[in-house]
Amino acid sequence: MRSDPKADLQHIAIIMDGNGRWARKRGLTRIKGHSAAERSIHDAVEVCGELGVEYLTLYAFSTENWSRPKAEVSFIMKLLSRFIKGNIEDLDDKNVKLRTTGRLNDLPEGPRQDLERAMERTSGNTGLNLILALSYGGRAELRDAFVQIAHGISTGDMDPSEITEELISAHMYNSDVPDPDVVIRTSGEQRLSNFLLWESAYSEFVFTPVLWPDFHAEQLHNALDQYRSRKRRFGGLE
Ligand code: FPP
């Protein structure tokens, strides 16, 4: 869904990068870096709650991340379960609605069920929508949308002349969610890495050298100050 040009800040999306480097700098194993990521996630949820941001999407696991060593993938999946079980009470108290984007069916049964239970429990909440991108890839999302649209055409339910940008948006995984106003990437890398390819067409990008486990409330506020200093024109004139 197109973001509302008049709204201040509805949707923040974050590429949480640099856990491995954070751990290496301390002589720790990579998985310790993933464990340390939890506090930054807490802080991001907290800040979004305070600011009244409606959507926070966190890139937690990409379609490409499955190619990492088996032990690391398995650790991240366990961490996901631990994160959900350990935080669901608090998230629910904070009126957070937990959601996901991506190919959830790719996840092992344990974390998938934990997620589904948590989403069910928080489904009536009306505060921040915390969207975890899991087994998510922007190209996979576009491919899945194209398959659905092609199916509609092949059955005669749709004519190619009806394919508009709005129709494509309506076939994205979470079509009710406005496009991100800002995409933040930590750790100094300056690329999108297959994140929200369609949705970030008019997003502002903020890149920071801070590694994700060091990205706390203060760093997020700094990133948002950068966002606010930009002039968004959506291709038009001021
Ligand atoms: C990027 O750091 C991080 C990931 C690919 C995984 C992110 C996972 C988490 C933050 C934890 C699990 C998620 C939840 C919701 C509990 P990297 O490993 O690519 O770091 P590097 O670039 O320094 O190697």
Report the predicted TM-score, pTM, of the whole model to 2 decimal places.
0.95
Of the candidates 4, 43, 65, 87, the residue annotated as catalytic is 65
Are 197 and 24 within 8 A, CB to CB? no
Q: Which residues line ligand 1 at a C-beta cut-off of 6 Å?
A: 16-21, 34, 37, 41, 60-61, 65, 76, 79-80, 83, 132, 187
- Taking the centre of ligand 1 as the mean of its atom positions, its distance from the CA of residue 19, in whole angstroms, is 5
Measured CA angle at 72 (ends 76, 116), to 5 deg: 25
Name the more confident of 232 and 137. 137
Which class for 134: exposed (0-12), middle (13-18), buried (19 or more C-beta within 10 A)? buried
- Taking the centre of ligand 1 as the mean of its atom positions, its distance from the CA of residue 207, in whole angstroms, is 16
Average pLDDT for the chain: 95
Does 5-137+179-228 carry CATH code 3.40.1180.10? yes
Specify the 3-state DSSP secondary structure of 209.
coil
User: Does residue 105 carry a catalytic annotation?
Assistant: no
Mean pLDDT of 212-232: 95
User: Does residue 17 carry a catalytic annotation?
Assistant: yes
Q: In the prediction, which pLDDT does 231 show?
A: 82
Q: In the prediction, which pLDDT does 1 show?
A: 72
Residues in the chain: 238
pLDDT reading at 5 higher than 60: no
